[in-house]
Structure 1
Amino acid sequence: MPYRHTQRGTWIILLCLLLAALNAAIVWRSGQWPPAVALVVLIAVAIVFSSLTIAVSEGELRWHFGPGFWTYRLALDDIEKIAIVRNQWWNGFGIRMAAGFRLYNVSGLDAVELRLKSKEIRRIGTDDPQGLAAALKSPGQKL
C-alpha cells in the first residue's frame, strides 16, 4: 500500500526563527558580528527540520527532513515488529539517540516504533501513527 505523509515542524520553525530574530537584534545593537554565526545556524536548523516526510512504497520505508538533503531508507523486510508509541517530552525533536532507540521527529509525541531484525529500534515521529503503521503492516509483521 503506497503511503506518503509530511508533518510540519511548526514549533521548531517558530522557535528557531524567534531565536534568530533575537540574535539578529543582539548583533545589530552590539555591532559585534561573531554572534551572527548563531543566526546562520538557527536559520539552517529551521530549514532542515521544517518538516518530516515519510513514504512507504514497494518493499521500502523512506523518510527525510525538510527539503530532503539526505534520505533514510529501510527495507520493510528488516522490520520485525511495529508498534504505535508515545514519546516522552524529554526525548526531544530532530534526530536523537535515546536509551534503547533512535528517534526521528519534528513535532508532537506520537511515533511508530520499528523493532528491526538486527535488534535495533527506530522511532519515526508522525501526526498520523495509525496510517503509517497500517501502511507498514504486512502479513508477516505484528502490529
Structure 2
Amino acid sequence: MLYQKKQFGWAILVLISWVLSSVLLALYVLGSSVPVYLFAAGLVIVAYLFHSLTIKVSKYELSWSFGPGVFGQKIPISAIAKVNPVTNSWLHGLGVKITHDGWVYGVSGFQAIAIELHDGTKFRVGSDDQANLLACLRTLIPEEEVVIEQEIESDLDD
C-alpha cells in the first residue's frame, strides 16, 4: 500500500448527534413511540456507516469507502486520466452524491481531489490530507503529453 488514510467525519457525527439528542428529548417528553425509536435506530446506523472515509492507493488501484467499507469505489490507476486539487463548496455537502462535478464522496471539510477517468467520468474525493494524496497519485499517473500545435505559414498570396 503506497498510501492509506482514514478521515473521521466529525461534521457528520456532530450533526447526527444533535438530531439524535433532539429525538431522545422528544422520547423523554412525549413518551415511548415505536416510530421514534426506529428513527433513532436509523440515525445510529447512518452514523456507523458514514463516520469515516478511508482512501487507499496501491500501485494498481485507487479505492475509497465509508465507515466499515461501504459506498465506495475501486478504480484502476490505468483508468485515471487526471487528478487535481479542488476546494468543494458547501453545495457539495457530506456523504455521497452526484453533482455537476460528478460523484462526490466526503465526510468533513472542503478539500478534495478531483479525479477524471479516460472515459470522462468524474469524481471528487474529500481528504484532510490533500497534498500527500495528490503527490502519491501524481507519481503513479503519467502526465499527459502536451501537444503544441504549430501554425503553418502559407506562401500563397491573394
Task: Output the CA distance in 2 between the equivalents of 1:27 and 1:117.
Answer: 52
Is 1:141 the equivalent of 2:143? yes
TM-score (norm 1): 0.92
Letter in 2 for 1:57: S
Task: Output the CA distance in 2 between the equivalents of 1:112 and 1:49.
Answer: 19
Offset of residue 139 of structure 1: 5.2
Offset of residue 6 of structure 1: 0.9
The within-5 A match list for 1:76-115 is 76-115=77-116
Is 1:23 the equivalent of 2:23? yes
Offset of residue 90 of structure 1: 1.4
TM-score (norm 2): 0.84
Is 1:2 the equivalent of 2:2? yes
- Structure 1 pair 69–103 and aligned structure 2 pair: CA distance change class (3 A): closer
- Structure 1 pair 139–74 and aligned structure 2 pair: CA distance change class (3 A): closer
The within-5 A match list for 1:20-99 is 20-31=20-31, 32-69=33-70, 71-99=72-100
Offset of residue 71 of structure 1: 4.4
Query: 2:55, 2:63 within 8 Å by CA — same for their partners in 1?
Result: yes
Unmatched segments (≥5 aa) in structure 1:
none
- Structure 1 pair 77–139 and aligned structure 2 pair: CA distance change class (3 A): closer
Offset of residue 116 of structure 1: 0.6
Query: 2:101, 2:124 within 8 Å by CA — same for their partners in 1?
Result: no
Over the residues paired in the alignment, what is the CA RMSD in angstroms? 1.5
Task: Output the CA distance in 2 between the equivalents of 1:87 and 1:33.
Answer: 39
Aligned residues: 142
Letter in 1 for 2:136: A
Based on CA coordinates, which of the two structures has the bigger radius of gyration?
2
Letter in 2 for 1:28: Y
Offset of residue 100 of structure 1: 3.4
Identity of aligned residues (%): 32
